[in-house]
Amino acid sequence: MKLIRLFQTLLPFLMITFLLCGCGQNDWQTSDKVEILSESKSPHGDYIATVFSCAGGGAAGYTYTNVNLRKKSQDFSQRDFLLGEHLWHSFSEISVDWKDSRTLSVSCRWVSDNSSHKTQNGNRVPEKDGVKVHYTLLESSQ
């Protein structure tokens, strides 16, 4: 009898916990607002480099501009990017240029001169799916 009461007491708590754990984990897939700024196919058409901006995050809010590199058979994802790690207002004036079918050149400018911001976003993907990526950081506009 005590076991049944314990179960009845815990059941609502467990249901709420499971529901909360599942909610919102992939909301960004449908709630992010993505704008494609430019797309460039590799010389043989096997790869696509997409410069895009993304805004989302609900009340917390975030915006970022970045570049996605993918095989032509893959779907675009705003969470698969080449520049940085924590992206809120990190990069601007991004442009891409194919040097050959396996070499992509990316140029960009920091949005802010904040040193901790630059440290957090200093990561770059050097190669993806056999494409080497070279980066040029433009001088600050300030």
Residue 87 reports pLDDT greater than 90: no
* Res 71: pLDDT: 98
Please state, rounded to an integer, the average pLDDT across all residues of the chain: 82
| Cα–Cα distance list, 122 to 47, 82, 88, 116 (Å) | 24, 11, 13, 10
CA dist 123 and 72 (Å) reads 24
* Res 116: pLDDT: 79
* Res 90: pLDDT: 81
The two structure tokens encoding residue 38: 């430019």
Residue written as tokens 């995050």? 57
Kindly give the residue spans of alpha helices, DSSP state H, lying in the chain: 2-22, 28-31, 115-120
Please write the tens of the pLDDT for every residue from 22-38: 444 445 455 799 999 99
* Res 45: pLDDT: 97
Mean pLDDT of 48-72: 90
Higher pLDDT, 43 or 141: 43
Residue 14 reports pLDDT greater than 90: no
* Res 51: pLDDT: 98
